[in-house]
Amino acid sequence: MGFDDAPYGHCDLIFDNVRVPVTNRLGNEGEGFALVQTTLGVGRIQLGMGCVGAAERALQEMCSWVETRVIGGRPLVERGVVTDAIARSRIEIDQARAFLVYTANLVQTQGIKAARSEVSQAKVLAPEMAVRVIDRAMQFHGGAGFSYDTPLAEMWAHQRTVRIGEGADEVHRELVGKFELTRQRAFRAASKPAAQ
Ligand SMILES: Cc1cc2nc3c(=O)[nH]c(=O)nc-3n(C[C@H](O)[C@H](O)[C@H](O)COP(=O)(O)OP(=O)(O)OC[C@H]3O[C@@H](n4cnc5c(N)ncnc54)[C@H](O)[C@@H]3O)c2cc1C
């Protein structure tokens, strides 16, 4: 979307007839995917933290803009719809932050396996929240929200990628749904009255 994170950035890599010596292999044959997955759990919490940071910055931008922008003789901040958007943003940011702390604590105390549903929930919840908050900030900036004068457009583009990178939202929701169904089945089985 025009923001390529230069000078490092993101690129396509093409592996054409690549051979890697066995001595360079990490771990055992056939376990590569599992090995890669072990790094992703913590990475997804870290991505979520980035989403919270971006949303905080967007809220700062929104609050300072609406105090100074005067429309029809009144500062924008005097419109109820603006304070409502600010309140919604604060509530959503704090919800996401609290859930990330909860998930990080679960990973630390019970291990990544016990927190697989929560990590996926965080991966879906945090960028959705960030995109929503940044979008609101852009809306109240009007045309300026799409310019390079504020960081909002770039932040929106980056946060939007998080809904796809490290597993698309749909894949994580599918996982969360499966964990929930398993949990509910176990709950029903445990609460079934014993046969007389
Ligand atoms: C900016 C950016 C940076 C990235 N950085 C990295 C990186 O550092 N390392 C890395 O390994 N990868 C990276 N990626 C790649 C990223 O992980 C993939 O783009 C992502 O996993 C989706 O794969 P895909 O693009 O092949 O889309 P596809 O797998 O083709 O999916 C396309 C769409 O289909 C739908 N979909 C997919 N699966 C399902 C399903 N099971 N159920 C329902 N719907 C589904 C979703 O809507 C999804 O968005 C990056 C991507 C972006 C955009």
164 CA to centre of ligand 1 in angstroms = 5
74: DSSP letter: E
More confident of the two residues 67 and 8: 67
Among residues 125, 130, 119, the alpha carbon closest in space to that of 157 is found at 130
Residue 125, both tokens: 């919840």
Residue 165: C-alpha distances to residues 18, 35, 43, 131 (Å): 25, 18, 11, 14
Q: How much is the mean pLDDT over the chain?
A: 94
Grouping H, G, I as helix, E, B as strand and the rest as coil, residue 71 is: strand
pLDDT at 2: 82
Q: Would you say the CB of residue 161 lies under 6 angstroms from ligand 1?
A: yes
3 CA to centre of ligand 1 in angstroms = 18
pLDDT at 10: 79
The C-alpha atoms of residue 61 and residue 51 are separated, in whole angstroms, by: 15
User: What is the gyration radius of the CA atoms in the chain, in angstroms?
Assistant: 22
Residue 100 belongs to what H/E stretch? Answer: helix 80-110
Torsion, Cα of 86, 88, 93, 95 (10° steps): 150
Closest residue CA from atom 15 of ligand 1: 165
The C-alpha atoms of residue 141 and residue 135 are separated, in whole angstroms, by: 10
Residue 65, both tokens: 């803009």
pLDDT at 24: 93
pLDDT at 192: 86
The C-alpha atoms of residue 52 and residue 57 are separated, in whole angstroms, by: 9
Q: What is the homologous superfamily of the domain 39-164+172-191 according to CATH?
A: Butyryl-CoA Dehydrogenase, subunit A, domain 3 (1.20.140.10)
For residue 35, pLDDT beyond 90: no
Closest residue CA from atom 14 of ligand 1: 165
Residue 35, both tokens: 């090995």
Closest residue CA from atom 19 of ligand 1: 165
The C-alpha atoms of residue 152 and residue 40 are separated, in whole angstroms, by: 27
More confident of the two residues 4 and 127: 127
pLDDT at 4: 77
For residue 186, pLDDT beyond 90: yes
pLDDT at 33: 85
pLDDT at 195: 75
Q: Would you say the CB of residue 10 lies under 6 angstroms from ligand 1?
A: yes
Per-residue pLDDT of 72-118, as tens digits, reads 999 999 999 999 999 999 999 999 999 999 999 999 999 988 999 99
Closest residue CA from atom 4 of ligand 1: 165
Ligand 1 atom nearest to 163, measured from its CA: 49
63 CA to centre of ligand 1 in angstroms = 34
Q: Report domain extents, the chain.
A: 39-164+172-191
pLDDT at 42: 84
Closest residue CA from atom 45 of ligand 1: 170
